[in-house]
Amino acid sequence: MKEQLPETDYKNKYEECNGRFEGVFEHTSAASKIINSDLEIVKVNRALIDLLGFSEAEIVGTKIMDYACKDVVHHWEDLQKAMWKHGQSYFKLDACLVRKDKTLAWVHITTVLFQQDKENFAYTVLDDFSYQKNLEEMEKRLSMALENSRMAVWELDLGDGSIVHTAGFKQLFGIQDPLKAWNREQLLRQFVREDADKLREVLAQISSETAIDFQGRIRTLDGVVRWVYLQGKPAGEAGHHPKKILGTITDITKEKLAERDKDDFIGIASHELRTPITALKASLQLLDTMKQGTNSKTASLITQANKSMHKITGLIDDLLNVNNLKEGQLQLRKSHFRIGSAIDDCCMHVTAEGVFEIIRSGDLDAEVEADSERIQQVVINLVNNAMKYAHGTREIRIDAKKMENALQVSVTDQGPGIEKEKLPYLFNRFYRADLSSGQYSGLGLGLYIAAEIIRRHKGQIGVDSTPGEGSTFWFTLPLDT
């Protein structure tokens, strides 16, 4: 016969179990509450208080419906019927609750029925999945945005060459089979051969520190040629060879067609203006030789007209240079020359005016093989840029520095500097860093032309700048090995 425990022992064990429950209930990291048959909250733990943002006094005595989002209230009504009317021992649902700060908390809810003092209560655990829900919503919005744009997202596995992509990728390339997998070689085959070779080279040189920034022409499966803009960044730890590339691809055909129309207009307009401008310039030069016999006001007007004509001629030359660059007509006449001599020749106009002082330093005796006239044009553009935007200072420094396989020439000013977000666009056509004041003239072509000349020499060009500390524009030229 089983020995009966004294009544005091039952009471002690009950209190011991209840104490354990209270401890687990209060200190568990899962938000928990106890509700009665009216869905009134009779007990909450610290995790639930933190989840909703209300105090315990504010929550206890209220009904869970007070926190439920309107479109999910019926779920709680289903729970109430199932557990208290039909005696179901547990119930699960996903619900949305409104926090004190009016933000939403999405929770997985598990409710277990239990009896105490002949009354049914429900112990409820709420698992917060708001972050997951918000992520899903963000993914939906992103997918909708991508579907309604000319952009697609892609991921390239550098190991096996497989490509994972969004639906917009298939639309861009005209892919009909929704199940067809893509890889690197299939992607390259879509590009026009010349552009495919360039992209292959870009992908071969990818590292953890580099990014893809490529424009090229594709031929869709239905034979249509489009321009696309391919961007991507390596995914993985810095310093390690990347395993994947994550990026976007955008249809820029409309932009390229508009750019072509603009180039055609610029080319025609520049050539048509050249003849009357040449005649006008000759007339002004003739007047300049005769101004000494006129009054001071007339002489001043002639001088000002010649200065304005010089600016107009420079703008037209820039436009013609851009047109030649776009059409591949810029010919390089390379020769060996001393870099210091080229700098002296092109900066004579600056020193002659006496407003700015050119300070030269470094390996000025270094010889390079390049187009001397074009390199002087680059230096002039960089110096003129410094004179234009750093007009509050006198010194402009030009430094030549021999590197391992190249010569670097830098032009440094002590001007206001350039904001970091503007630096990537400085060498774009028609871009001007400061349009707010309206005091700087020009079309924004000087740096673009300089960059194209250096690229034709297989060199590099760039800028280092800190607001308030000035700017250093630099370029490199390959040295004979």
Query: 133-191, pLDDT tens digit by residue?
Result: 888 887 777 666 656 666 788 888 888 888 888 777 777 877 776 656 788 888 898 89
Please say if the pLDDT value at position 243 is more than 90. Answer: no
Q: Which of 99-103, 274-278, 427-431, 467-471 shows the highest mean pLDDT?
A: 99-103
Q: Which amino acid is at 454?
A: I
pLDDT interval class at 435 (50, 70, 90): very low
Q: Give the residue, 448 or 406, on which the prediction is more confident.
A: 406
- Which pLDDT belongs to residue 437? 47
What percent of the chain lies above the pLDDT cut of 70?
83
Spell out the long-range contacts of 382-387 with Cβ–Cβ below 8 A and sequence spacing 24 or more: 382/411, 382/447, 382/450, 382/473, 382/475, 383/346, 383/347, 383/350, 383/358, 383/411, 384/446, 385/411, 385/446, 385/447, 385/473, 386/411, 386/412, 386/413, 386/415, 386/471, 386/473, 387/350, 387/355, 387/356
Q: What is the pTM of this model?
A: 0.49
Q: CA triplet 398, 402, 406: central angle to 5 degrees? A: 105
pLDDT interval class at 438 (50, 70, 90): very low
- Which pLDDT belongs to residue 10? 58
- Which pLDDT belongs to residue 433? 63
Q: Give the contacts of 208 (CB within 8 A, at least 6 positions apart).
A: 234, 236, 237, 238, 239, 240, 241, 242
Whether 470 and 389 have beta carbons less than 8 Å apart is answered as no
pLDDT interval class at 443 (50, 70, 90): low
Q: CA triplet 269, 275, 281: central angle to 5 degrees? A: 115
- Which pLDDT belongs to residue 49? 92
Give the Cα separation of 324 and 321 in Å (integer).
5
Give the Cα separation of 202 and 394 in Å (integer).
42
Written as six digits, the tokens of 285 are: 């030069």
- Which pLDDT belongs to residue 352? 65
Q: Which amino acid is at 245?
A: I
Nearest partner of 121 among 40, 57, 47, 56, judged by Cα: 40
- Which pLDDT belongs to residue 368? 92
Give the Cα separation of 319 and 308 in Å (integer).
17
Q: How many CB atoms lie within 10 A of CB 1?
A: 3
Whether 121 and 25 have beta carbons less than 8 Å apart is answered as no
Please say if the pLDDT value at position 457 is more than 60. Answer: yes
- Which pLDDT belongs to residue 411? 94
Q: Which amino acid is at 403?
A: M
Please say if the pLDDT value at position 317 is more than 90. Answer: no
Please say if the pLDDT value at position 1 is more than 50. Answer: no
Using DSSP bridges, classify how beta strands 395-402 and 357-362 pair: parallel, antiparallel or unpaired: parallel
Residue for token pair 């040295």: 479
The helix/strand/coil state of 392 is coil
Whether 379 and 409 have beta carbons less than 8 Å apart is answered as yes
Phi, psi angle pair for 236, to nearest 5°: 145, -175
- CA end-to-end span of the chain: 104
Nearest partner of 30 among 112, 96, 124, 121, judged by Cα: 124
Please give the C-alpha separations between residue 182 and each of 162, 165, 266, in angstroms, as whole numbers: 6, 9, 41
- Which pLDDT belongs to residue 336? 92
Give the Cα separation of 213 and 80 in Å (integer).
58
Q: Give the residue, 410 or 237, on which the prediction is more confident.
A: 410
Using DSSP bridges, classify how beta strands 225-235 and 244-251 pair: parallel, antiparallel or unpaired: antiparallel
Min mean pLDDT across 34-48, 209-223, 372-386, 405-419 is at: 209-223
Whether 81 and 61 have beta carbons less than 8 Å apart is answered as no
Min mean pLDDT across 216-225, 303-312, 459-468 is at: 303-312
Region for residue 444 given its phi and psi (left: phi exceeds 0; alpha: psi -120 to 50; beta: otherwise): left
